[in-house]
Amino acid sequence: MELEAKPEKQILAERLETRNRYPKTVFPDPVMEPLWWGRRNIEPVPDRNAIVNKTDGTVFAVCSDRYKVVHYEDVVNMVEGVISTLDGYGKIEICPYILSDGGKMKLTLKFPEAKHKIAVGDSIFPKIEVFSSYDLSYKLMGKFGAFQLKCSNGMGVWKMFKSFARKHLQNLNLKDLQHTISEGLELFGAQVIDWKKWAETKLDAVTYNALWEQLPFSPTERKKIEVLPEIGSGLIIEAALKDNNLTVWQLNSVLTQFATHEVASEIRRIELEPDIAHALELAYNSVTN
């Protein structure tokens, strides 16, 4: 069902139910407000509105008066509707996170019962992140990937392999979102096969050093990464490379571990992930082609 096809009363009731299901999440209350300018003669700004949090007055962004605000609660409801139709993945964990003082939202979906083994001691399961924003920094978009379990306490790292993006449309369609998420889950199986190949592919020093030209890390961060013990195995990539025993998968694991646990900024972590995935794909292709 499209959001616009629902009665307003029903939409408001569903938003309230969503808030009640996630009591630890503080959802903003976005409203569209007119803009004015001038000191003596106050004039309206034509065709423009401000997106404002009614709760505390935070101004998220200025937009066209034709722009449609898509509430975070509506995105959560739509995603919940999608995953309710999925079969064969077991229990699905879903959690919304509000970022940038309400300007952004990240919605995570984990599929811990759909586990795959990549290498000895390495298990992964599908993970999806859906993003939306009131500050206009994100379109409605998402990332498909995997969560790599590193130890029994649930600690792990995120690995990305596929992205999608959709504009904020007047009629945000559930079937469109369902197709996109289902497509990502289908791609997961193919990505698992590729990652198993990564676990069997060793990096030489020339390829390794060339790879760092593509990676989104500073020289200082590189030094830290090269001596960072991998959670669980204790592997250090500097030593593994010297012993000619560093695989693409092991390097990927340490890089994503650093991004997940050592980078403080949530926004920067989001920006790092596609760059890491792209650089490792290039490195693998360089070795095998």
Vertex 159: Cα angle to 263 and 21 (nearest 5) = 85
Supply the pLDDT for residue 1: 41
Name the phi and psi angles at 176, rounded to 5. Answer: -65, -45
Tens of pLDDT, residues 52-90: 999 999 999 999 999 989 999 999 998 998 888 888 889
Supply the pLDDT for residue 182: 77
pLDDT: which is higher, 44 or 144: 44
Rounded-to-integer distance, Cα 66 and Cα 47, Å:
8
Burial of residue 91 (number of CB atoms within 10 Å: 0-12, 13-18, 19+): exposed
pLDDT at 49 over 80: yes
Question: Which of the four pLDDT bands, split at 50, 70 and 90, describes residue 144?
Answer: confident
Rounded-to-integer distance, Cα 146 and Cα 126, Å:
4
Q: What percent of the chain has pLDDT over 70?
A: 88
Supply the pLDDT for residue 172: 46
Its pTM stands at: 0.78
Domain chopping of the chain, boundaries: 3-196, 201-288
pLDDT: which is higher, 174 or 187: 187
Distance in angstroms between the alpha carbons of the first and the last residue of the chain: 47
Supply the pLDDT for residue 241: 96
Supply the pLDDT for residue 171: 47
- What's the whole-number mean pLDDT along residues 15-35? 97
Supply the pLDDT for residue 177: 66
- Strand positions, DSSP E, 26-135: 30-37, 43-53, 59-64, 93-99, 104-110, 116-119, 122-133
Supply the pLDDT for residue 153: 46
Token digits of residue 64: 């066209």
